[in-house]
A and B are shown apart, each in its own frame.
Chain A
């Protein structure tokens, strides 16, 4: 048996205890609170007072919680005036009436954005630049607030306006989730898109979005040069036609164009240029020997040009070579160009020296006043028979068994 006399006595005690406790509570009286204020909805900035009816001999505190934080008010009269910084913020304001560390009454009021005040428009537009055509777009987002910086309620009408090359458009959207927004798709022309918005009487500032030309299409190239001779001196200029996108917009300035040149040996040469008003230029020095160039230009990975062919003619057929008596001084030239004129300084002359059919040295010099002078010093080239290959401007002359003394 679990129940014994001791148990019963204990039960009695505890009963007594609980009765006396109940009496004690009775003495304290249950707290009677009623809310006299009946209004539940306010506009931001309104004067808000919560008026409670309760025993004024007791102390109460009102705990308030809104979107941004919480605070505590004390009042002896039962009238709590909500401080301005809480009364002007949109959202649900919870209140808890506290007495003796217990919440004896709780409720909430809702504060709405004040639509009577001036509206402020916060505008976010992005991306700030888009590409012409019908695929790319920019997003125009408006976060309207009242003068207390509260977001306006859902379904506020917002007018979205934009202007582009003589076209002015206006659309109306309703706000939802604190914002109103609209996508603006690009036009087929490049240019500046001007954007603004309006709510009621309030207009936003002007914003601009750049519409850049779309990707370049294939294009044509041409070349320009002073003459056809491979003199290694003049410069040949390659030029694109006007590079355009699929909508006939001239591509954006600064579009990089690579000119790729392939010569007869298969060597690749490269020149680079960026477009200005759709035209890019690339410049290369003429070759110094007879050659045929195949030239094509690329906007890497996007567009290419046609291939053109450029022919360079040899500038001379032969040149003189003089050996002095000891054969240790070799004078090449005078080198004469296409009109028999002395070739401009700087033409390359290469001397290859062979001994016993083995090349022992290559000397390279540039011409000065049409001539190049090689001196083979005794210390480096002992007396004996040598072979020489001398080449310049695509012509090579061979001299065998020249004896250096």
Chain B
């Protein structure tokens, strides 16, 4: 027994000895690591700084002619980067009332002005979430030794959301001109003076070629009145992942034949924000979208392209990144004849609660503006999830889209009520019934119920001459959890909205896909 105890003691002593050694080694290594930080070349030369782009307002150099000396391309880039960073750190500073990195982009004396304002805002519990959307730079002066530059920044469109005690008070949008003196210090172009000048008006964007337009409450495409008869489309094998690795233009082409034969003329497709590369759109994704649009054009189908699928940030500082995303996609397809409309976001009103209604509305409003700037030729809409939200921003959009999954008997009333309020074309952008009767849903609808539903809906649509896009062509085998959540019965429901079942047979409802 004594021997046993002794062994236990021995083990304890050895273990505690090892523990102490490990602890000491850990402390020494941490101390060494701490002492080494800041002195490594990486941080001294600022090479690792700003690798990820976080702030991308549209910036244009109008001219660089100046009396000092010609500027080098590299310096121009440096000035541009540091100047935008200066705006970014300033926006972050006013948002958090912290002075992080301000001293990197403002000289000590210029920084005092920001310090004073932040002190005042902090004592008043104010937080200002701001971003700039556009900058138009021209170089007024660049010194012979390359250490000093004066730039003029005109038409700076700025948004500010003002919060007091975390409550949004109001939003302000304005356009200003600035004159800025920058000095090259420690490898940074720092702001020495910034002077706000008389405000200016916004510059005119592109002019529409009149391809798609709305006159009163009718849609016109290429001078002809257009009645939307369509469907929301995903390929059967790749729902919510249309442009992924399994993208097959042949499959899509065949599906388009089915739709065309069924008498439809429009489809709605979805462009996921993250998958397309966020602020740096992947060219191969763009090519896939181009292929789909080209096939649609050849099959005489028009396309409503829903952007920003699965996007959910909306914070003011994130705006410029989404603007670059839109610019690259919308600008690329501005002359494409298959596109009918850009649908900015699918069901954004569902984000009101989690992201703040004002944030979402503010983002949508500016995004409409951005999209029109890059593509004035196609229509703009927002895919609201219900009729109640459909009147939001109805002055800004071209066509008002809404989804309807409620009781079919109420549709007539609800639609009439909306029709009176809105004098733009109304699009029933999603509707449908899941034939999901089965294990997960014993009292769900059968395929017969689904057929009846579509039959009735088509009658109403025909009678009222409504633009429509039904949900959806296929029953799906897999529905990603990001769409409806992970609950099996919800997934099950989402799998059975199609007109064609999982094995490729036309369901009873198919005959009512169109009228």
Contacts and interface: CB of A to CB of B under 8 A. Distances in A.
Interaction A to B: yes
Interface of A: 2, 6-7, 10-11, 14, 61, 63, 65-72, 83, 85-86, 89-94, 96, 98, 101-103, 108, 110, 124, 126-127, 137-139, 141, 143, 145, 149-151, 177-179, 181, 183
Contacts of A138: 144-145
Interface stretch (B112-120, B308-316, B370-378, B439-447): B112-120
B68 A178 contact: no
A89 B115 CA distance: 13
Contacts of A102: 170
Interface stretch (B35-43, B174-182, B203-211): B174-182
Contacts of A65: 160, 172, 174, 196
Contact of B172 (A89, A96, A108, A179): A96
A98 B194 contact: no
B197 A91 contact: yes
Given A6-B416, A141-B143, A177-B141, A124 B148 contact: yes
A139 B68 contact: yes
B162 A14 contact: no
A179 B181 contact: yes
Given A6-B413, A181-B68, A85 B116 contact: yes
A94 B176 CA distance: 10
B466 to A, nearest CB: 11
Interface of A is mostly: strand
Given A85-B116, A91-B196, 5 more contacts: A67-B194, A68-B114, A89-B113, A92-B197, A143-B193
Nearest to B160: A70
A150 B412 CA distance: 65
Contact of B143 (A72, A86, A126, A178): A126
A14 B121 CA distance: 44
12 contacts: A68-B110, A68-B194, A69-B118, A71-B117, A72-B124, A85-B120, A94-B176, A101-B168, A124-B183, A126-B145, A138-B145, A151-B193
A91 B195 contact: yes
B113 A69 contact: yes
B172 A63 contact: yes
A67 B195 contact: yes
Contacts of A183: 144
A91 B164 CA distance: 26
A101 B161 CA distance: 11
B90 interface: yes
The 9 closest A-B pairs by CB, nearest first: A126-B145, A85-B116, A139-B144, A68-B113, A69-B117, A91-B196, A67-B196, A177-B140, A101-B170
Interface residues of B, number: 56
Interface in B67-86: 68
Nearest to B144: A139
Contact of A71 (B121, B168, B193, B413): B121
B128 interface: yes
B169 interface: yes
Given A101-B170, A124-B148, A127-B144, A69 B176 contact: no
Nearest to A86: B117
Nearest to A4: B416
A186 to B, nearest CB: 12
Contacts of A67: 113, 178, 194-196
Nearest to B174: A94
Given A6-B413, A85-B113, A69 B90 contact: yes
B117 A70 contact: yes
A244 to B, nearest CB: 27
B237 interface: no
A72 B164 contact: yes
A96 B198 CA distance: 15
Nearest to B111: A68
Contacts of A2: 464-465
A10 B416 contact: yes
Contact of B145 (A71, A139, A145): A139
B463 to A, nearest CB: 8
A70 B128 contact: yes
Contact of B198 (A63, A92, A101, A149): A92
Contacts of A89: 113
A68 B416 contact: no
A108 B168 CA distance: 24
B481 to A, nearest CB: 38
A126 B144 contact: yes
B179 A177 contact: yes
A77 B140 CA distance: 44
Given A2-B464, A178-B179, A127 B145 contact: yes
B150 interface: yes
Contacts of B90: 68-69
A101 B117 contact: no
A94 B177 CA distance: 12
A101 to B, nearest CB: 4
Contacts of A68: 90, 110, 113-114, 117, 194
Contact of B120 (A14, A63, A71, A90): A71
B109 interface: yes
Given A85-B117, A126-B145, A151-B181, A98 B170 contact: yes
Nearest to B420: A14
Contact of A70 (B94, B412, B413): B94
Contacts of A150: 193, 195
B421 interface: yes
